[in-house]
Amino acid sequence: MTIKAGERMPQGTLKRMTKEGPKDVTTDELFKGKTVVLFSVPGAFTPTCDAKHLPGFVELADQIRAKGVDTIACMAVNDVFVMNAWGKASNVGDKVLMLADGNGEYARKLGLELDGTRHGMGMRGQRFALIVRDGVASAVEVEAPGQFKVSAAEHVLGQL
């Protein structure tokens, strides 16, 4: 079942890269007492994700934070090393938290998995953006197949 606005975010664990190496990030650590924009892309370095989706959030990060957002996080069904390399290549710095959902478990818990096997990409996460306030999804924007509109940074900024 796909998460809906007003519902509590499911419990889960993602990974991020630190100076000490990969580190688990629980959903409690990520969402509790915070306002978070969590956006998901089908894959690091893939065309729309790399050229538009992540760059939009990097570019608008200051404006998004000015609306009371504590954390902007990018999630993909990629391993933590790929997410770290993509963050470095995209110069995200501390503007966007790069989160790996390596096995797609969290995407499944959200009901937002994507079967990319037809394209040789395996199971992935759909393209979406969530606004989460203290662990509750206040906005759920899921893209239609092949679209890039409602999960874009500009659209999310307008929802805050």
Domain assignment present for 76: yes
Model pTM score: 0.94
pLDDT of residue 122: 67
pLDDT of residue 49: 72
pLDDT digit string (tens) for the chain, length 160 residues: 899 999 999 999 999 999 999 999 999 999 999 999 999 999 888 878 777 899 999 999 999 999 999 999 999 999 999 999 999 999 999 999 999 999 999 999 999 997 777 877 768 899 999 999 999 999 999 999 889 999 999 999 999 9
Domain assignment present for 20: yes
Domain assignment present for 28: yes
Domain assignment present for 34: yes
Contact 116, 123 (CB under 8 A): yes
Domain count, the chain: 1
Q: Can you give the residue range of the structural domain that contains 37?
A: 13-159
Domain assignment present for 5: no
Q: Indicate which residue of 30, 37, 38, 49 is catalytic.
A: 49
Is residue 49 part of the annotated active site? The answer reads yes
CATH of the domain at 108: 3.40.30.10
